[in-house]
Amino acid sequence: MPGHTEQSVFIDAPFELVWRMTNDVPNWPRLYTEYASAEVLERDGDSVTFRLTMHPDENGVVWSWVSRRVMDLPGRSVRAHRVETGPFEFMHIYWTYREEAGGTRMTWVQNFQMKPTAPVDDAAMTERINTNSKLQMKIIKDRIETAARAGV
């Protein structure tokens, strides 16, 4: 069965700020701790194709891939998929943003399947993504709330 994760975080900041900061791909290395670089390869309206490169993992391996992200501001959602799938058969990501009293709830849903030759299976990757998403969402929450307090 393919992998599926869903994580959500409440950010005490206005939707407009949360949207702007989380969709500013070139600045992702300052928003996330896991990315060493984010290089925009192509922009087409509300779509962006980009290369993400991570910091070296515990074995010194640097992972990098190309993704395409399509932002739907009126629908307050984003759809993304990996163009270079690496160890994945496929990776589809769906982000939603919902205004709630005092802030914005951001939710990430990821559906994927690992290749048979991948170093981990779907269950192990599900666990890894769930653990990492919680960590990154906390960091993003803190950084956006700091920016909101600073009036950015």
Q: Which pLDDT band holds residue 65 (cuts at 50, 70, 90)?
A: very high
Q: Tell me the pLDDT tens digit for each residue of 91-114.
A: 999 999 999 999 999 999 999 999
* pLDDT at 1 exceeding the cut of 80: no
Q: What is the mean pLDDT of the chain?
A: 96
- Which of 141, 98, 85, 125 lies closest to 4 in space, CA to CA? 125
Specify the pLDDT at position 152: 81
Nearest-angstrom CA–CA distance, 37 and 66: 12
Choose from 43-47, 60-64, 115-119 the range with maximum mean pLDDT: 43-47
Nearest-angstrom CA–CA distance, 98 and 27: 22
Cβ count near 37 (within 10 Å): 14
Taken in order of first residue, the domains within the chain and their CATH numbers are 3-149 (3.30.530.20)
pTM of structure: 0.94
For 26-79, give the secondary structure using H, E and C. HHHHHHCCCEEEEEEEEEECCEEEEEEEECCCCCCCCCEEEEEEEEECCCCEEE
